[in-house]
Amino acid sequence: MQFEHIKTEFMGENGEILVVTLNRPEVMNAMNTKLLQEMVTLFREQSHNTSLRCVVLTGAGGKAFSAGGDLKERNGMSDEDWRKQHQLIEEKTRLVQNMPVPVIAAVEGYAFAGGCELALMADFIIASETAKFALKEVVRGILPGAAGPQNLARAIGVRRAKELIYTGREIDAHLAYEWGMVNRVVPQGKALEVALEIARQIVDSAPIAVRMAKTCLNHGETADFHTAYALEISAYNVLVSTEDRLEGVAAFNEKRKPQWKNR
């Protein structure tokens, strides 16, 4: 499927890795209504792709992952149109959050407002040393959306999140790493490369086990310990009966790379 404002590329022997590039570099990949619609269409479609094992999100041009919502488009929007667009943003957010396979954000340059929120919704972030993060909505008279406050507080702690959200303060990649917001800081221009290296490692893991692990971690984060542990045990017992569990043990004993069947 061809899109106007995002680029897609499948990588790997069987297209197991999908690279999604926000492609409006002339406006620092600001997200307008059309781009949001395309993201919803893509993620809705790919959530049913049983060959897919990992998604990598990045931005075109190197200057920004995304500067957030397109404020030029929003200038003059009616309240009704603004709310309709934000419903689209929330739908996109839920689709990224509920993607059954891991999603990695590869961030070069600015990840502000909606761009920061999109990166935070990924399973984790690989940041170039040029990366800068901020939730700037309060300085424009609105509140960060797309689960930005919730994800930021869970990543760096509620007190640090309050400071960043109340002030719109920018932080660089190294402080974001120190605070636990990003997993790795890499040299300029290397965020996508490193994210793809990790994606290939994910592809080498058993696909059902990875999906189960994501489910347990995502839901366990907001559940009490005993509920989360019960979910883990249920997932574990499902995996015991899979062909991939048998293949994983056999491959270890035969000293070879496992051939996953995804069943």
Which residues are designated catalytic? 117, 137
Residue 201 to residue 56: CA distance in whole angstroms: 13
What distances in angstroms separate CA 136 from CA 50, 140, 163, 170, 196, one per listed residue? 37, 7, 11, 8, 29
Helices then strands, counting H and E runs in the chain, come out as: 11, 10
Angle ∠(85,88,89) on CA atoms, nearest 5: 90
**Residues linked to residue 186 through DSSP beta bridges, in sequence order:** 128
Instruction: Return all residues near 235 (Cβ < 8 A) that are at least 6 apart.
Output: 212, 213, 215, 216
Stretch (H or E) spanning 247:
helix 243-253
Instruction: Return all residues near 241 (Cβ < 8 A) that are at least 6 apart.
Output: none
Instruction: Return all residues near 101 (Cβ < 8 A) that are at least 6 apart.
Output: 52, 53, 54, 55, 207, 210, 211, 214
Residue 86 to residue 8: CA distance in whole angstroms: 24
* Parallel, antiparallel or unpaired: strands 132-134 and 171-172: antiparallel
